[in-house]
Structure 1
Amino acid sequence: MDDYPLLELFWTMLWFFLWIMWLFLLFKIISDIFRDHELSGWGKAGWLILCLLLPFIGVLVYVIARGTGMTQRETARAREAEGAFQDYIRKSAGPQAGGSGADELARLADLKGKGALTEEEFQKAKAKILA
């Protein structure tokens, strides 16, 4: 243990964690390249080749050239996912979650008054709500 002093261990761990952070950044950039719908196929291939053949330079150039766009694309993806999730919740909850039984009965009476529902359909729907 005396052959490897504490400062050397610190520097080794620092470089190891920096390398891991760089790998995370590389994978984030590669996923951004493939998810970007505005970038052409040749553009994607060029960026991918640059990031894989000259990894440190490629990652640095990509972050400088397209870093702002990465943030905007990620934000748009998050908003889209949140919207889809909210739509799923609304769809799954159904009309009962949006209002009370009285609101549903009022809506049914309105539909019956407009002639959209027959008396028989109204009674069936009313029994379903009251059950």
Structure 2
Amino acid sequence: MTSADGRTAYTTVSFDRQVKTLGHAYTASLDGATAPTRAAGVRVAYGGDLDEVVREPANDNASETVAVAAALVILALAFDGVAAALLPLVTAQISVAVGLGVVGIVAGVVTLATAAPAPAPAPSSADVR
């Protein structure tokens, strides 16, 4: 579909499987398919679910390491010992792992929505009669 002034166009692409299962490596295929269009000077942007595929995966390892180290120092000072500080950290890690596992199991059986509708505003007293 092209806009009235001919400067903007878009197309809808359908896949026979969920786009998120394609993985980040699929980006090379997308770039190869759009290379002639880009070579002609047209700017190409992906939207919708394809945006999740082409976006670089986040690397949060450094920030997570700093956060756990800071938590260990604070808990060691609060509990007056490293051994006592490790117990809540290990418990939290196990809880997160179990929670992710349960969500993974449920997501394998039930389709979970990736977006939710915005909640409606609460009626004001003038709306209620």
Q: Which TM-score applies when normalising by structure 2? A: 0.26
Greater helix content: 1
Query: Based on CA coordinates, which of the two structures has the bigger radius of gyration?
Result: 1
What TM-score do the two structures reach when normalised by structure 1? Answer: 0.26
